[in-house]
């Protein structure tokens, strides 16, 4: 299924039914009085988060969603029937905003969480409500209210504990394959990843975390270059970022330090709060260096980059160094618990125990 994380829809709630102006007319019942019933309520439109859905593809093509109108009231004290509500099921992590005003309507971060998108119109009153001792034959009634109409923007932000960022071909997909059962496409050309991938990393029987991999960033991403800018929103809910750097880029003239700084600059340009998230440096592709040169290359990179945070050197292709990194992440997440917002948010994501080859 194609991954769709953004859609625009129009929701139209139902109008309320009109009240009735009617009088009781039966044989042997003279001057029976008013008996007009009320109109029925128009149908409302709700959204509910469903953990069994992982894309907004249903709303890419079905753009207009209508609820039925309420029935009009009738004589003989018959009230009109209210219309059924319409429920739109969306993935957990969907943010719903008003496309015209930018108002945030709902942020559905838990399975089963509901939000009212458009309220149905109230039913009108029949003339039964207007009778009194001085107005025994009222002909007044009210019309049903109009249902709300809105243009909405749906935006999916996946729920994950750890986010991966880096240049295309830095080894992010290879890393997620090494530590989880997720199997994103891996190839030796840029932009192999075209959409977010989630993997559950299981470190013990009852300890795990979710990793999100997005398409690689390039310089100028915040202005729309490349693919990664389209998916940066998926890192906004993460608690920890892993900046994966290709220590041995295929272009001999490339400068890994310059490229690493460019990615961080794009983060800050896109969203300062994303730039301020805890971030670890992961230097990948050690397997392409002779064993005697690895420590010196890592030390030289850190010194030139002037990095003061945690640093890990790995070879994701064979799992070297992945195990210590995974357990360090788990310990950090345990020490920095987040407010639970989505129980079972990782349901449906493939999971496997961490079992990369041990480091030599």
Q: Is 280 inside any structural domain?
A: yes
- What mean pLDDT is predicted for residues 40-48? 95
At 354 the pLDDT is: 37
Residue 272 pLDDT class (50, 70, 90 cuts): confident
Q: Is 228 inside any structural domain?
A: yes
What percentage of residues in the chain have a pLDDT greater than 90? 36
CATH number for the domain that contains residue 236: 3.40.50.300
- What mean pLDDT is predicted for residues 263-279? 84
At 219 the pLDDT is: 56
Write out pLDDT tens, residues 83-93: 999 999 998 88
Q: 320 and 281, same structural domain? A: yes
Last residue of a domain, one of 93, 127, 156: 156
- What mean pLDDT is predicted for residues 48-62? 87
Cross-strand pairs, 210: 200
At 342 the pLDDT is: 39
Q: 170 and 134, same structural domain? A: no
Residues 6 or more apart in contact with residue 351 via CB below 8 angstroms? 180, 181, 199, 200, 201, 202, 208
Q: 249 and 345, same structural domain? A: yes
In order of 22, 26, 93, 101, the CA distances from 138 in angstroms are 9, 18, 53, 43
Is the separation of the CB atoms in 50 and 91 below 8 Å? yes
Q: 245 and 193, same structural domain? A: yes
3 state DSSP class of 335: helix
Q: Is 195 inside any structural domain?
A: yes
Q: How many residues does the chain have?
A: 360
Write out pLDDT tens, residues 93-104: 899 999 999 899
How many structural domains does the chain have? Answer: 2
Task: Decide: pTM greater than 0.85.
Answer: no
CATH number for the domain that contains residue 112: 2.70.210.12
- On the question of pLDDT at 193 being above 70, the answer is no
- What mean pLDDT is predicted for residues 284-311? 90
Q: 207 and 135, same structural domain? A: no
**Structural domain range at position 94:** 6-156
At 224 the pLDDT is: 52
- On the question of pLDDT at 4 being above 90, the answer is no
Q: 211 and 171, same structural domain? A: yes
Q: Is 76 inside any structural domain?
A: yes
Q: 150 and 114, same structural domain? A: yes
Q: 340 and 312, same structural domain? A: yes
Distance in angstroms (rounded) separating the CA atoms of residues 235 and 358: 29
At 95 the pLDDT is: 92
At 352 the pLDDT is: 36
**Secondary structure (H, E, C), 58-89:** HHHHCCEEECCCCCCCECCCECCCCCCCEEEE
- On the question of pLDDT at 149 being above 90, the answer is yes
At 195 the pLDDT is: 62
Last residue of a domain, one of 156, 188, 203: 156
Write out pLDDT tens, residues 88-147: 999 888 999 999 998 999 999 888 999 999 999 999 999 888 888 888 888 889 999 999
5-14, 57-66, 162-171, range with the lowest pLDDT: 162-171
DSSP assignment letter at 29 = B
Last residue of a domain, one of 130, 156, 182: 156
- On the question of pLDDT at 182 being above 70, the answer is no
At 106 the pLDDT is: 92
- What mean pLDDT is predicted for residues 273-298? 90
Q: 192 and 122, same structural domain? A: no
Q: 235 and 255, same structural domain? A: yes
- What mean pLDDT is predicted for residues 289-299? 91
Q: 122 and 15, same structural domain? A: yes
Q: 178 and 32, same structural domain? A: no
Q: Is 293 inside any structural domain?
A: yes
Q: Is 223 inside any structural domain?
A: yes
Write out pLDDT tens, residues 198-225: 788 888 888 888 888 877 565 554 455 5
At 343 the pLDDT is: 36
Residue with tokens 């504990």: 161
Q: Is 126 inside any structural domain?
A: yes
- On the question of pLDDT at 348 being above 50, the answer is no
Write out pLDDT tens, residues 321-344: 999 999 999 999 999 886 644 333
pLDDT averaged over every residue in the chain: 82
Residues 6 or more apart in contact with residue 331 via CB below 8 angstroms? none
At 1 the pLDDT is: 42
Rg (CA), the chain: 29
Q: Is 343 inside any structural domain?
A: yes
């Amino acid at each position: 299924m194609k991954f769709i994380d953004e859609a625009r829809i129009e929701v139209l709630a139902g109008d309320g039914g009109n009240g009735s102006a009617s009088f009781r007319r039966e044989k042997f019942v003279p001057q029976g009085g008013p008996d007009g019933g009320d109109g029925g309520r128009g149908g409302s439109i709700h959204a509910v988060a469903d953990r069994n859905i992982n894309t907004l593809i249903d709303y890419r093509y079905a753009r207009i969603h209508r609820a039925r109108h309420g029935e009009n009231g009738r004589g003989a004290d018959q009230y009109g029937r209210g219309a059924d509500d319409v429920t739109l099921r969306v993935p957990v992590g969907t943010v719903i905003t008003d496309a015209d005003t930018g108002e945030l309507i709902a942020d559905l971060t838990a399975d089963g969480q509901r939000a009212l998108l458009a309220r149905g119109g109230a039913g009108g009153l029949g003339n039964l409500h207007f009778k009194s001792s001085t107005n025994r034959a009222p002909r007044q009634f009210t019309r049903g209210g109009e249902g709300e109409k809105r243009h909405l923007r749906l935006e999916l932000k996946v729920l994950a504990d750890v986010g991966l960022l880096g240049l295309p071909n830095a080894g992010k997909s290879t890393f997620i394959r090494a530590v989880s059962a997720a199997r994103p496409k891996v190839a030796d050309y840029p932009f192999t990843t075209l959409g977010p991938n989630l993997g559950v990393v299981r470190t013990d029987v009852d300890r795990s975390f979710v990793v999100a991999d997005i398409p690689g960033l390039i310089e100028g991403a915040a202005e729309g270059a490349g693919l990664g800018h389209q998916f940066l929103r998926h890192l906004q809910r993460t608690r920890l970022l892993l900046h994966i750097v290709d220590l041995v880029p295929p272009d001999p003239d490339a400068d890994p330090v310059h490229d690493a700084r460019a990615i961080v600059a794009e983060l800050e340009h896109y969203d300062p709060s994303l730039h301020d998230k805890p971030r670890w440096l992961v230097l990948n592709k050690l397997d392409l260096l002779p064993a005697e040169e690895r420590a010196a290359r890592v030390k030289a990179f850190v010194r030139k980059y002037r990095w003061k945070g945690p640093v890990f050197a790995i070879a994701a292709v064979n799992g070297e160094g992945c195990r210590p990194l995974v357990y360090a992440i788990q310990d950090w997440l345990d020490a920095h618990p987040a407010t639970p917002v989505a129980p079972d948010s990782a349901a449906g994501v493939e999971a496997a125990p961490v079992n990369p080859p041990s480091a030599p």
